[in-house]
Chains A and B, each alone.
Chain A
């Protein structure tokens, strides 16, 4: 068989793991952040993040004590930072499931280096997102009215409202993402249990790894469960941001009432999520020395997805203007001219420059593979995507049909501090994850190494 090799073209795929690493060294590399001496930078950043959590808690306490009046909301702008931040965080939470589910179904093996990381980010982002609708309702102690719970008033929610669909979509998304993440973690927790030097570590990792021992009879069901979860999470991830967009699109307001919203929101969510993964991954691979598992090749692939989804978002921005003109509907036309040239034009142009213009640099391989450039662009995208939600929510509300009811919205210090505090919560959870759980999937990354193939080394 070896003689016919002259007639075949050998296409070599880029290595997913830097050559020279073995199964054992991969375990070592991933375990190092959990077993090394606590780095001082970790402690410093952790203290900063925890003070963010305290800020968030005190802002929420103040809100519950004093009422929604401490926020900048007014009439006509009844939706402000709370909704903007909710959509921002939920959007970030979309990359994790996209990487773990959709890329899994497409057999994109490079996902194994980043999926654990992105899934953790998803869960923490959805936790941050979930806070905002919970606290914006005014009487927070009645938040349970959102759920169909039998109560003594005999009262039930309105299932025709997209806001209620959202409750189901986001809570299902959180639960499924958490289970997906945990199932992926079980074999790696067993690895940590078997490496544990202290009794306490062995106990804790042992309890959560459920007695996993790598049996093939278990792997068979496990792989099936993973495939099914991926197949379930794929339509789920598309449905969640579609339903978030229904919160806007189902209303009659010019600037919100458009059919392009579901795909446009999903593309934007993936865009912002990937940007956040790049921001965090660039830092983590540097600080914890994961460079042989998360290579420049992985980052470059993510940057390509950022470029693609950035252009999808840019297309949606353009198409909204086209439809505003083509519909011949004066209120819609006004909403968009006002968006680009009215009192909030500054926000609109920040959004366009960050989301549409800045990712264009990724056309150049030099920019796609340069760590500082991709880091800066990913930050720009994060900023731009926050402004996108601000532009959609606030500019549409502040000037609608009647000029007599126009207004202007600005956040108060409480709005800003609550938002800053949510970053504190996100980074607190993320730092704990980096320190106590394997941030790269040990078993999955071994599976894509060439040595894992039972026919490794044979001539074809």
Chain B
């Protein structure tokens, strides 16, 4: 049976320090939970940059092409004579092309973010802990996964003790 060691810290400062220590000790599968993003935490956890920008770039390009091609095709396929303007009036296609680029980019930013975060995810072993409910209001937590190589409950308790942990809880994951 897997388990998660949940450690609570008192402030963003203590949490950042703890993440730095854990990274330096070679842990990489742990996660940090806080009510708001903490400046510098990505570096402390040694996370790679988010891939979201590339997803949005693709989404935006698709939107741009869709908008322009749709208007070109419609204007040639269903020719309307408007004040003698050419059917392929590309300057007039700019507003709709722009709007569709923004729309597709925004969709890929939002749904791409949810996909990268694997949300929605209504089950998580952490939700079993009543104590963890503070994480969305004023609690600062670190969760260490027992599947990580070198996970040793007692050793971790000792290590976390030296960096000012407030409270430790073991959560069992039955899945």
List the interface of chain A (C-beta within 8 A of B).
Answer: 22-24, 27, 148, 154-162, 164-165, 168-169, 172, 175-176, 179-180, 182-183, 187, 190-191, 193-195, 206-207, 210-225, 228-229, 232-233, 235-236, 239, 243, 246, 442-444, 446-447, 451-457
Contacts and interface: CB of A to CB of B under 8 A. Distances in A.
Nearest to B39: A454
A223 B109 CA distance: 11
Nearest to B13: A454
Contact of A187 (B40, B110, B114, B136): B136
Contacts of B27: none
A229 B109 contact: yes
Contact of B47 (A217, A235, A447): A217
Contacts of B33: 213-216
A225 B34 contact: no
Contact of A213 (B11, B42, B89, B126): B126
B35 interface: yes
B74 A156 contact: yes
Contacts of A156: 74, 77-78
A158 B12 contact: no
Interface stretch (B97-105, B147-155, B157-165, B167-175): B97-105
A221 B50 CA distance: 6
A15 B106 CA distance: 33
B92 A160 contact: yes
* Contact residues of A: prevailing secondary structure: helix
B34 A165 contact: no
Nearest to B15: A454
A154 B133 CA distance: 57
B99 A154 contact: no
Contacts of B89: 160
Interface in B66-122: 70-71, 74-75, 77-78, 80, 82, 85, 89, 92-93, 95-96, 98-100, 102-103, 105-107, 109-110, 112-114, 116-117, 119-122
Contacts of A454: 12-13, 15-16, 38-41
Nearest to A223: B37
Contacts of A452: 12, 36, 38-39
B105 A217 contact: no
B135 interface: yes
B11 A216 contact: no
Given A175-B106, A176-B103, A452-B38, A221 B52 contact: yes
A132 to B, nearest CB: 20
A249 to B, nearest CB: 13
Given A235-B102, A457-B13, A446 B35 contact: yes
Contact of B42 (A212, A216, A455): A216
Contacts of B35: 23, 27, 187, 191, 214, 442-443, 446
Contact of B52 (A213, A225, A243, A446): A225
B137 interface: yes
A24 B34 contact: no
Given A168-B100, A451-B12, A225 B112 contact: yes
13 contacts: A159-B92, A168-B96, A176-B103, A176-B106, A211-B119, A211-B127, A221-B50, A222-B37, A222-B113, A232-B109, A233-B106, A451-B11, A456-B13
Of the candidates B11, B16, B103, B137, the one having the most CB atoms from chain A within 10 angstroms of its own CB is B137
Contact of B99 (A187, A213, A225, A239): A239
Contacts of B100: 168, 172
A444 B37 CA distance: 9
A220 B38 CA distance: 10
A211 B118 CA distance: 10
A155 B82 CA distance: 16
A340 B158 CA distance: 81
Contacts of B64: none
Given A212-B119, A225-B109, A228-B56, A168 B137 contact: no
Nearest to A449: B36
Contacts of B2: none
A159 to B, nearest CB: 4
B105 A228 contact: yes
Given A172-B100, A179-B106, A446-B36, A206 B136 contact: no
A243 B47 CA distance: 42
B31 interface: yes
A94 B67 CA distance: 24
B144 interface: no
A24 B52 contact: no
A216 B74 contact: no
Given A183-B110, A456-B12, A216 B32 contact: yes
Given A27-B137, A220-B42, 14 more contacts: A169-B99, A213-B135, A215-B117, A216-B45, A217-B47, A219-B36, A219-B38, A220-B50, A225-B110, A225-B112, A228-B53, A452-B36, A454-B13, A456-B11
Of the candidates B33, B36, B124, the one having the most CB atoms from chain A within 10 angstroms of its own CB is B36
Contact of A22 (B50, B85, B96, B138): B138
B84 to A, nearest CB: 11
Contact of A447 (B13, B36, B41): B36
A190 B136 contact: yes
Nearest to A179: B110
Contacts of B106: 175-176, 179-180, 229, 232-233
B49 to A, nearest CB: 8
